[in-house]
Amino acid sequence: MVLFSHRTIRSLLAWGGGVLLMSAGCETTGSSSSVSVEAAVGNRPPRQTASSTQATQQTAQPTPSNNSAALTGPSVKAIATVSGTAIPRERLVGLLIEGRGLAALEQLIVLEAAKQCARRMGIVVTSAHVQKEYEASLDQLLAESIGETSDEVRRQAGEAMLDDLLKRRGVARAEYMVVMERNAYLRRLAERDLDITRTMIEAEFDQSYGEKVEIRHIQVKSPDTLDQVLGERDKGAEFSELAVRFSANRPSAERLGLLPPFGINDPNVPELMRRAAFALEVGEVSEPIFVDGWYHILRLERRMSKQDVSLSSVRNEVEQNLRRKLTDTRMQTLTAELFREAEIEIADPMLRAAFMTRHRGEQRPDGP
C-alpha cells in the first residue's frame, strides 16, 4: 500500500478548493477517524496484484482516436519517419512518461481508488457531476477578474484563462478533465456523512462577519535569514519588498506578503499569530514569532470591524460556505485515506522507477 507525501497530495489537489476536517473512511457502514495528510504519509511500497493492475489500466488507457489507432498497436515499431528514418515509438513514449507520466499516473490512481470506493458504497457519479466540477473550476479561475456580464462572456473568459494556465503548466486538457472527474468522485464521497451543527454554523458566522485583521507576512526558516530580513528592515526596506525577496510562503509572497483577512478564532491561522496580529496597531510590525519551526514577522495593514448583520439573515449563505469548506477538507483527507488503502502495481519499468524515487523514504518503519 502506498501513500504520497504532503507535497504530492497538494499537487494531486491542485485544482480543488480550500479545506477543513471531517471523519469517515471508505467503508459501507460506519466511519473511521479522520486522518491528516501528515499522519497518513508513508505506508509500504506497491504490492504486485494483477486485479489492481487491470482496474487501473482500464481507467488509465484512453480509447485511441481513429487517426492514431494505427500507430498504437504492439507490432508498430515507429511512431514517425524522417526521410525514411524511423523515430521509435518507445522513444516518444519514454519522453512523455519522463515529462508528465508520473503526474498523470498519480491522478489516475486517485481516480480509480475513488471509483472503487464509490462502487462499494453505492454512490453514482454522472457526467453532470463532472461538468459541475468543471464549471466550478472556471468560476474559481475567474473569481473577481471580470465584472458583471453575461454567462457566455464569462464562460469564454474562463475557458481562455484555463487554456493559458494549462499551457503555462504544460498540462493537457485531457489530464485536466481526469482531475475534474476525480474531484467529482471525491466530492460525492466527502458529502456522504456531512453533519453540520448549530454550533458549527455560529462559529462560521463569527468567522465570516466578526472583526478581522489583514496583515502582511514574512516567513523564514533559518535564524541567519531572519537576521538578514531584520537588518534590511532596520535600514528602511519596504516590508512588501522583503516579503517578495525572503518569504518562504510563496503564495503570500507573490501578493507582496498579504494574507487573507482572518478573525481572532480562525482555526486556519496559528493561535500565536492571531494574538500577535490583533495586538498590533495599523502599520506596526511585530517582533519575530516562532511557530512550528518557522519565524514569522507580521505587519498590520487594516482592521475590519464586525459587520452589523444577524445570523438569521445570512444563515443559508453561512451554512453553504461551511458545507463547502468541510467538503473540500474532507476531499483532501479522503485522498490520503484512499492512497493508504490502495494496492498499486506499476507495470512500466520507467514509471515504477520514477514512482519509487519520488516516494522513497515515505515508508513507516512498522509498515508490513
**Mean pLDDT of all residues in 141-163:** 78
Q: Give me the chain's average pLDDT, please.
A: 78
Phi, psi of 361 (to 5 degrees): 85, 5
pLDDT of residue 83: 92
Chain segment 63-113, per-residue pLDDT in tens: 433 333 344 444 557 889 999 899 998 888 888 888 888 888 888 998 999
Chain segment 227-277, per-residue pLDDT in tens: 999 999 999 999 999 999 999 998 889 899 999 999 988 888 899 999 999
Chain segment 180-196, per-residue pLDDT in tens: 999 999 999 999 878 89
Position with higher pLDDT, 15 vs 44: 15
Position with higher pLDDT, 152 vs 190: 190
What proportion of the chain, given as a percentage, has pLDDT over 90? Answer: 43
Q: Which fold has domain 211-304?
A: Chitinase A; domain 3 (3.10.50)
pLDDT of residue 192: 87
pTM of the shown model:
0.61
pLDDT over 70 (residue 140): yes
Domain residue spans in the chain? Answer: 6-62+92-195+321-359, 211-304
